[in-house]
Amino acid sequence: QKEVEQNSGPLSVPEGAIASLNCTYSDRVSQSFFWYRQYSGKSPELIMSIYSNGDKEDGRFTAQLNKASQYVSLLIRDSQPSDSATYLCAVKRNGGFKTIFGAGTRLFVKA
Amino acid sequence: DAGVTQSPTHLIKTRGQQVTLRCSPKSGHDTVSWYQQALGQGPQFIFQYYEEEERQRGNFPDRFSGHQFPNYSSELNVNALLLGDSALYLCASAVRADQETQYFGPGTRLLVL
């Protein structure tokens, strides 16, 4: 079982729609959760972090965390073609220094 | 304010050779982590350096070693290169007070032939 699992996609949504990206993790000791965006040929960029159960909103992005189900998701509202990228879910243990990444989900937003 | 920089951008080596990759952290950052990203995969944690010491290591063999200098810059050394070492090598920096927010450099793309 992989430590962080994501559907590789591609996930294709029309412009203006909501894109929903999901991630599960195996280590119950995980305490910090992140979503990174990676454009093709570029390095990852942190877009959201979440530490408590529930929702966290930042502009068009909403991260959702459910520690009991070991599940993290990212919702992108009003998706734009510029959102087309690979979205990486990552987790970290409390007090740990190692960030564990999933393989990423490719998102394609059609104009 | 300069971001994280890495050099070189691309590198071609042959099996058995050794390589050194370099990273300068973002201004004000004192912690450097190194990751390996194979094609189609997420970054894999190699190790992290803080105060010139390796603080934690991922599941990588001893062929992978590193160093951090007093100015917080860092090097990643890989000995006895294998074909499977071909990947994008990413450096990420952070400040000790906010380890959760790390900034990635542009990466070094290594091809081993």
Q: What is the mean predicted confidence (pLDDT) over A2-6?
A: 92
pLDDT at B99: 78
pLDDT at A96: 83
- pLDDT less than 70: residues of chain B: 1
Rounded Cα gap, residues A30 and A70, in angstroms = 9
Taken in order A102, B31, B3, B68, the sign of the CA dihedral is: negative
Cβ atoms of A13 and A79 within 8 Å: the answer is yes
pLDDT at B1: 63
Determine if residue A9 is left, alpha or beta; phi over 0 gives left, psi from -120 to 50 gives alpha, anything else beta: left
Tell whether A48 lies on the interface with B, counting CB pairs under 8 A: no
Rounded Cα gap, residues A4 and A27, in angstroms = 9
pLDDT at B98: 80
B72: DSSP letter: S
Q: What is the mean predicted confidence (pLDDT) over A53-82?
A: 97
Cβ atoms of A109 and A43 within 8 Å: the answer is no
Return residues 6-45 of A near B (CB < 8 Å).
8, 32, 34, 42-45
pLDDT at B97: 76
pLDDT at A7 over 80: yes
pLDDT at A95: 76
Instruction: Show the CA angle centred on residue A41, arms to residues A36 and A42, nearest 5°.
Output: 40
Question: Nearest residue on chain A to B49, judged by CA atoms?
Answer: A97
A79 Cβ contact list (under 8 Å, min separation 6)? A13, A14, A15, A16, A17, A18, A19, A107, A109
Give per-residue pLDDT as tens, A76-94: 999 999 999 999 999 998 7
Tell whether B3 lies on the interface with A, counting CB pairs under 8 A: no
pLDDT at A93: 87
pLDDT at A33 over 90: yes
Alpha carbon separation from A40 to A5, A83, A89 (Å, rounded):
20, 12, 16
Return residues 24-63 of B near A (CB < 8 Å).
33, 35, 40-45, 48, 50, 55-56, 58
Instruction: Show the CA angle centred on residue A33, arms to residues A29 and A34, nearest 5°.
Output: 155
